[in-house]
Amino acid sequence: AQKITQTQPGMFVQEKEAVTLDCTYDTSDQSYGLFWYKQPSSGEMIFLIYQGSYDEQNATEGRYSLNFQKARKSANLVISASQLGDSAMYFCAMRTNFGNEKLTFGTGTRLTIIP
Amino acid sequence: DGGITQSPKYLFRKEGQNVTLSCEQNLNHDAMYWYRQDPGQGLRLIYYSQIVNDFQKGDIAEGYSVSREKKESFPLTVTSAQKNPTAFYLCASSPRVGARYQETQYFGPGTRLLVL
């Protein structure tokens, strides 16, 4: 069974600083995908970034990057130059590559950006 | 604009009543999903459908039912058997089934269900 652990229930970060949101995962599968989603107060889940288990380079999407350490089973999200609009819940999720379309989610981290 | 719509935004249920949450997508996606989110929790999968007229139970299917008569529609019924239905319900879709595991799921705006 897959499991995602996010150990930071909440974080407060000064505007323009970088922030790292932690995510560790557990799976016995060799092929899997890791996702990060942002959920603002409106409730919609917004896809941010993806990392495949066989990808040799860490994924980047604009201000978002994923610090993928396969041996440690961690997939931390790094947001550079944080903005007030980054305040939201952030969820890490995983999907294995066996035709199972299920996403397993962590419990999330609430990020608050301080002006 | 292409996207996923969910209605209503808020829904109130009386004891013993069945209610149906609507989910429509015009993205031409094959797969559709229903998730439940409780306060302070991540999302849990209720049901998913990979093709019209077929659907699979997720982790917490008890007390829920679905149908997939059209590719673009995947309604969720919360039955009276669901004893604790108060939650935020999110519908999602993804382009293809099993073709690329990195394909993300796209989410609708959600429906908040409250019990009177």
**Each residue's pLDDT tens digit in chain B (116 positions)?**
679 999 999 999 888 899 999 999 999 998 899 999 998 888 999 999 988 999 999 999 999 999 999 999 999 999 988 889 999 999 999 887 555 555 688 899 999 999 88
pLDDT of residue B1: 64
Distance to chain B for A10, nearest Cα, Å: 11
Chain A residue numbers touching B110 (CB-CB < 8 A): 43-44
Task: Decide if pLDDT at A6 tops 90.
Answer: yes
pLDDT of residue A31: 85
Percentage, residues of chain A above pLDDT 90: 80
| Count of pairs with CB atoms under 8 A, one residue in A, one in B | 64
Lowest mean pLDDT among A24-28, A35-39, A83-87, B94-98: B94-98
Residues with Cβ < 8 Å from A23, sequence gap 6 or more? Answer: A4, A5, A6, A34, A36, A74, A75, A76, A77, A92, A106
Interface contact A107-B42, CB threshold 8 A: yes
pLDDT of residue A81: 95
As a whole number of angstroms, the distance between CA B85 and CA A17 comes to: 40
Lowest mean pLDDT among A29-43, A89-103, B58-72: A89-103
Question: Mean per-residue pLDDT for A59-69?
Answer: 96
Residue A5 near residue A25 (C-beta atoms within 8 A): yes
Both tokens of B51, joined, read: 């093709």
As a whole number of angstroms, the distance between CA B43 and CA B60 comes to: 11
- The closest of A106, A63, A69, A44 to B6, measured between CA atoms, is A44
Q: Which of A9, A46, A102 sits opposite B45 (nearest CB)?
A: A102
pLDDT of residue B39: 86
Interface contact A43-B44, CB threshold 8 A: no
Task: Decide if pLDDT at A39 tops 70.
Answer: yes
Q: Which of A35, A99, A108 sits opposite B104 (nearest CB)?
A: A35
What count of residues does chain A have?
115
Per-position b or e across A30-52, b if 16+ CB within 10 A of its CB: eebbbbbbbbeeebbbebbbbbb
Question: Mean per-residue pLDDT for A35-49?
Answer: 94
Interface contact B88-A52, CB threshold 8 A: no
pLDDT of residue A63: 97
